């Protein structure tokens, strides 16, 4: 193997493979020698990425399913059909994404894969050194998506979005293929802000996911119990088979991540692409990659200036996180107030960092202001002082 490369991509998850695939497809890396390093070969369906979108996404060809009708359920059981305008909710299975991107990348003569555990990534003069358990490499630029929890400061908020999902198959048709339960709060809130997703892919198959926003994980048995309870008592399904499962933990934080560190470019959650107030990462990562590609096209380097998630939206995220962490304004009530009083399309625009001031006003007006005053001014100080 070579020891010297033009570009090293550390991590071959969604962020790393998205960048390598899209940059290679665009032609901007045709004259570069590229190394992709990861400890795993990515040959399992280990997770699902979901996102809402108005247009064609960069990976539309591997979208497993999409839905145009979305439902919201309050903790008290009230159902609301969401006014989502032109937004669709889309699902990508990781195995389809891996197979699609890896097939193309492995066919490129200027791209090499190396499987090993990365021990360190550091700037050395005008190069980056990547050290693995068995060797080391250098490159002009390095893109890093290997997340480690940062050292949280006293003024930061750090919650976890943790979830377990199971794919269930029923004996009889049990689902409306055109509708999803985007947020279903018909479950106890004793473990924190808790809700379910239901994403049907046929009339007798669906991904059912128990999701929480809280400071700590639960015992494994609790996730399983809550899923069974919801499927039996809320969905009214007594008999089903489990054909797949996933478990994940996503940080929800207003910690200020560094995008650039010398010639190291952080992407994905490590670069701040996970939306603090929701945990959604896929769409923001694709926008960041678009910025990187444009920068290469314009100046031959990855150093762009304007982030997709603006300071304004980071202030909103920080405020929301503080309110959720405080717990006085219960999460299920907060989201019920928002989705009951505001069109879902305005909420989606906010969560995609695309909302205008009028949409911001409608979202803010839907919530009880007393809980937000102190956190808002704390967030203003954090991002603008």
Residue pLDDT, tens place only, 87-144? 999 999 999 999 999 999 999 999 999 999 999 999 999 999 999 999 999 999 999 9
> In terms of residue numbers, what domain contains 258?
4-47+92-150+254-299
* Residue 83 within any structural domain of the chain: no
Residue 246 pLDDT greater than 80, yes or no: yes
Q: Which sign does the torsion angle of CA 346, 348, 353, 354 carry?
A: negative
Rounded to whole angstroms, how far apart are CA atoms 139 and 118?
15
Question: What is the model's pLDDT at position 119?
Answer: 98
Look up residue 217 and give its DSSP letter. P
- Measured distance CA(64)–CA(375) in Å, rounded: 39
Same domain, 22 and 33: yes
Looking only at the bridges linking them, the beta strands covering 111-115 and 34-38 are parallel
How would residue 286 be classed by pLDDT, with cut points 50, 70 and 90?
very high
Q: For residues 70 and 83, give the distance between their C-alpha atoms in angstroms, rounded to a whole number.
A: 8
Apex 261 CA angle, 258 and 265, nearest 5:
80
CA distances from 344 to 85, 182, 210, 348 (A): 8, 11, 21, 6
Which DSSP helix (H) or strand (E) runs through 318?
helix 311-326
- Let me know whether 170 and 204 are in one domain: yes
Q: Say which DSSP state 102 is in.
A: H
Cα–Cα distance measured from residue 377 to residue 71, given in angstroms and rounded to the nearest whole number: 33
What CATH number is given to the structural domain containing 175?
A: 3.30.9.10
Please indicate, yes or no, whether residues 269 and 377 belong to a single structural domain of this protein. no
Kind of pairing, strands 240-253 and 158-170?
antiparallel
At 363, is the pLDDT very low, low, confident or very high (cuts 50, 70, 90)? very high
Secondary structure (3-state) at 296: helix
Residue 385 CA to residue 377 CA, distance in Å, equals 11
* Number of separate domains in the chain: 3
Give the residue, 2 or 285, on which the prediction is more confident: 285
Listed in sequence order, the residues at least 6 apart from 1 whose beta carbon sits closer than 8 Å to its beta carbon are 112, 114, 135
**pLDDT on residue 229:** 98
User: Domain with 26 in it: what CATH number?
Assistant: 3.50.50.60
82, part of any domain: no
| Whether 178 and 243 share a structural domain | yes
Question: Same domain for 115 and 43?
Answer: yes
Pairing between β-strand 205-214 and β-strand 69-73 as defined by DSSP bridges: unpaired
Instruction: List CB contacts of 112: < 8 A, sequence separation 6 or more.
Output: 1, 2, 5, 33, 34, 35, 36
With beta carbons less than 8 A apart as the criterion, state whether 35 and 139 touch. Answer: yes
**183: confidence class by pLDDT, cuts 50, 70, 90:** very high
Q: How far apart are CA 101 and CA 118, in angstroms?
A: 22
DSSP structural state of residue 86: T
Q: Are residues 367 and 238 in the same domain?
A: no
Confidence class for position 2, pLDDT limits 50, 70, 90? confident
Check whether residue 166 and residue 214 sit in a common domain.
yes
CB atoms within 10 A of CB 137: 23
Give the residue among 325, 316, 164 at the shortest CA–CA distance from 247: 164
Same domain for 162 and 284, yes or no, is no
263 and 330 fall within a common domain: no
DSSP 8-class letter at 219: P
Predicted pLDDT at 385: 83
Residue 222 · residue 191 · CB < 8 Å: yes
Reported as a pLDDT band with limits 50, 70 and 90, residue 353 is confident
Give the pLDDT band of residue 335 (cuts 50, 70, 90).
Answer: very high
- In a domain, residue 371? The reply is yes
Q: What whole-number distance in Å separates Cα of residue 70 and Cα of residue 72?
A: 7
CB atoms within 10 A of CB 171: 11
Instruction: Give the pTM.
Output: 0.94
**Chain-centroid distance, C-alpha 338:** 21
């Amino acid at each position: 193997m070579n020891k010297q490369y033009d570009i090293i991509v550390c991590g071959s998850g969604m962020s790393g493979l998205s960048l390598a695939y899209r940059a290679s497809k665009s032609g901007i890396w045709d004259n570069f020698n590229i190394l992709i390093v990861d400890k795993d070969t990515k040959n399992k369906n280990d997770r699902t990425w979901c996102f809402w979108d108005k247009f064609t996404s960069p990976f539309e060809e591997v979208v497993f399913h999409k839905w145009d009708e979305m439902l919201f359920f309050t903790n008290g059981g009230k159902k609301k059909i969401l006014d989502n305008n032109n937004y669709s909710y889309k699902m990508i299975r990781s195995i389809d994404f891996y197979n699609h991107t890896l097939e193309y990348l492995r066919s490129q003569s200027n791209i090499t894969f190396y499987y090993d555990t990365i021990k360190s990534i550091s700037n050395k003069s005008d190069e980056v050194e990547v050290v693995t358990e068995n060797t080391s490499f250098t490159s002009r630029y390095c893109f890093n998506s290997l997340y480690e929890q940062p050292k949280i400061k006293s003024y930061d908020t750090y919650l976890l979005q943790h979830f377990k999902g199971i794919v269930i198959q029923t004996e009889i048709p049990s689902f409306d293929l055109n509708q999803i339960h985007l947020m279903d709060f018909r479950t106890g809130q004793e473990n924190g802000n808790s809700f379910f997703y239901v994403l049907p892919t046929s009339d007798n198959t669906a991904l059912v996911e128990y999701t929480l926003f809280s400071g700590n994980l639960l015992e494994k048995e609790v996730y399983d119990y809550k899923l069974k309870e919801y499927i039996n008592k809320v969905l009214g399904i007594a008999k089903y088979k489990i054909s797949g499962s996933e478990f994940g933990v996503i940080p929800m934080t207003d910690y200020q991540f560094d995008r650039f560190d010398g010639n190291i470019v952080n992407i994905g959650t490590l670069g701040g692409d996970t939306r603090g107030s929701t945990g959604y990462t896929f769409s923001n990562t694709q926008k960041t990659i678009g910025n990187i590609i444009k920068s290469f096209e314009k100046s031959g380097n990855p150093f762009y200036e304007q982030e997709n998630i603006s300071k304004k939206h980071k202030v909103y995220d920080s405020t929301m996180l503080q309110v959720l962490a405080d717990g006085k304004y219960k999460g299920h009530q907060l989201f019920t107030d928002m989705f009951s009083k505001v069109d879902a399309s305005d909420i989606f625009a906010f969560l995609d960092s695309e909302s205008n001031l009028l949409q911001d006003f409608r979202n803010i007006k839907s919530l009880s202001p007393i809980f937000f005053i102190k956190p808002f001014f704390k967030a203003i100080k954090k991002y603008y002082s």
